[in-house]
Structure 1
Amino acid sequence: MTRPAVRMCARCHRTTDDPVLVHEVHAATGPGFNVYACQDCADHYPPLTDVYELLDTTPRRSRLTLRVYKVNAEGAVTEHGSEVEVLAGGRTDPVPRTSAYPPCGCPRCRTQ
């Protein structure tokens, strides 16, 4: 003999013997949990979405823009300097294995 599933409705807070799964809560640091509703309240929730449909199929490149400028004592910009845009996510050469960890990749050390 199997025991019926008894859950509390997330909307009306009554217990139900016939719960409907209305939401899945995912957690990054541990197990997630499911949210249930009774048959009457289940229509008030949107249909479940597949989490894989939310992922963008085309990978995007990360972008970081560094701006250098000078400010005065009051915090106003007095001089605009250079701007460097760093793109990540593309194909890069692997870092060479050396005895130094991590290997230095600054422009000064790469030219030596």
Structure 2
Amino acid sequence: MTRPALRMCARCQRNTAEPVLVHQVHAPTGPGFNVYACPDCATHYPPPTDPIEIPNPPHRRSRLTLRVYKIDAGGTVTDDRGEVEILADGRNDPVPFMSAYPPCACPRCRTPH
């Protein structure tokens, strides 16, 4: 003869012979524990998730805002060109070669395109 599983409901604090697993608590340094609820209270808990499953982060575009201006030797702004907003969507496009953005000496900039 087997005894029915008797667990305490985490919501109403009453013992139930029909426990429903609603959450698993994992511990990094030892065994975790299970959280049970009675059938009536189990509907108030969200469905259990797999802790090993890593959710995909939402794709967000990187944003960089630069303020472009020139200053004289005294620190006074002489030419304010405003703000330039750069949006990146994960691609690493090469830096354009132009007079406003001279190439540097790194191997990436020295390779011919």
TM bracket (short chain)? 0.3 to 0.5
Alignment TM-score, normalising by the size of structure 2: 0.47
Compare the two structures and name the one with the higher strand fraction: 2
